[in-house]
């Protein structure tokens, strides 16, 4: 019985994801993404790599970005310039 229930569940999930993949692309992106302008975001590891790119991306979306990193080196200079 457990195997049958699991199969039915997996089949249901399969149809759900297929349906989602067909419907979601037709919904305008502004209804699918959250408006973060004016919000405060804390980005850890913002001194370099992915964290730095996320901090810059959030600043471009109008976020007030609090940057956090253990390495002081990456936190000054170009990051501050790019966030301005």
Ligand X SMILES: NC(=O)c1ccc[n+]([C@@H]2O[C@H](COP(=O)([O-])OP(=O)(O)OC[C@H]3O[C@@H](n4cnc5c(N)ncnc54)[C@H](O)[C@@H]3O)[C@@H](O)[C@H]2O)c1
Least spacing, CB of residue 79 vs ligand X, in Å: 10
Least spacing, CB of residue 76 vs ligand X, in Å: 12
Number of residue whose CB is nearest ligand X: 49
Main-chain phi, psi angles of 65, to 5 degrees: -105, 125
Distances (CA, A) of 52 to 20, 41, 76, 77: 32, 13, 12, 13
Which of 36, 45, 57, 63 touches ligand X by CB under 6 A? 45
Main-chain phi, psi angles of 44, to 5 degrees: -85, 145
Contact positions toward ligand X, by CB under 6 A? 44-45, 47-51, 68-71, 74
């Amino acid at each position: 019985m457990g195997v049958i229930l699991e199969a039915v569940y997996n089949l249901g999930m399969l149809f759900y994801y297929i349906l989602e993949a067909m419907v979601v692309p037709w919904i305008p992106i502004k209804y699918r993404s959250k408006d973060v302008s004016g919000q405060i975001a804390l980005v850890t590891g913002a001194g370099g790599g992915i964290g730095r790119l996320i901090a810059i991306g959030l600043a471009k979306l109008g976020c007030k970005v609090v940057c956090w990193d253990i390495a002081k080196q990456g936190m000054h200079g170009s990051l501050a310039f790019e966030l301005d």
